[in-house]
Amino acid sequence: MPTGVIFALSAYLLYSCCDAIIKGFGSDLAVFEIAFWTALFSFLPAIFTKPEGEHWREGLRMRHPFLVNLRAVTGLLGNMCIIYAFVHIPLAEAYSIAFLAPIFIVFLSSHFLKEQVTWQRWLFLAASFAGVLLVVRPGFRELSLGHLAALAAAFFGAITTTVLRKVAPVEKRVSLIGIPLGYVVVANGLLMLPGFQWPTWQEFLLLLTIGGLGGTGNLLFIAATRRVPASQIAPGQYSQIAWAIIFGAVFFREFPDLITYVGLAVVAVGGTLNVISDETRIRIFSRLSAGAGPATVMSEKSPPLGDDAIAPGKDK
């Protein structure tokens, strides 16, 4: 197995560990507090991934300020929604619904970025959607606010990734990292104030662990993109479904039934065929944490779109 693929699979494992720890908080910490501390701690690895020649003070110098801020807002909302989903519904169900993001991404890309979508891609996306229906089974079981939050996270994540694909090739990394993280820290910091309680030292350690694992995952993912093509990395994201099943069973006593397993398999197969069907338009599920995660790294490998394709290169 190529080293780059191993790095990518390791990164997705670390991301899944972060999600499992978030779920472990349950109702002990508010969603706003979890988002605030994890985003704050994720600044640490972001410092070490800053490209040479870029300075944080240049983060406000943007070519597309509206789009960069739009991405930050949708990343903030998606971040809140996915944390709520992880806390309130089984991990496997949260992942399956969140993996609907590519459907929204393709729809947005075809309408706003004017990309051509083949019938094969729509077929793979339809298969993934059918798999999610098998997992969730609306009409046959009661749906909770956590399921709606996961769906909202997929929608906001799609907007985040679509906008990112437009701005990533022409904006500085310090803007793409610093501004979204700033939104998450400031907004959640304000929202958590009314009912704020200091986390215990054990909770602080866990929050710091989330930041450390996520940051390490980002570094591994960046290393992976430098070693192998995107088409070899992207399918690995669906390994998170397997980790969700394992962590859910071991730590939270979540045991899906046979139909759910079938649905998860359909989601994974349909999604994998989708992401490897066209390497130039590959889509990686956004971590929705507004950092330098997979979506950011992969979109930076894309060529400029629209007017930016003929515009001069981004300032250094």
pLDDT digits (tens, 9 = 90+) for 77-109: 998 999 999 999 998 899 889 888 878 877 887
6-23: pLDDT as tens digits? 988 998 899 899 999 999
Is residue 135 within 8 Å of 174, Cβ to Cβ? no
CA 162, CA 131: separation in Å to the nearest integer?
23
pTM, full prediction: 0.79
259-268: pLDDT as tens digits? 999 999 998 8
Convert 124-146 to b/e letters by CB count within 10 Å (16 or more is b): bbebbbebbbbbbeeeeeeeeeb
Instruction: Give burial (CB, 10 Å; 0-12/13-18/19+) of 239.
Output: middle
282-314: pLDDT as tens digits? 444 444 444 444 444 444 445 555 566 555 444
Q: Is the pLDDT of residue 67 over 60?
A: yes
CA 30, CA 299: separation in Å to the nearest integer?
32
pLDDT band at 190 (very low <50, low <70, confident <90, very high): very high
Average per-residue pLDDT for the chain: 79
40-61: pLDDT as tens digits? 887 776 666 666 666 666 667 7
Q: Is the pLDDT of residue 148 over 90?
A: yes
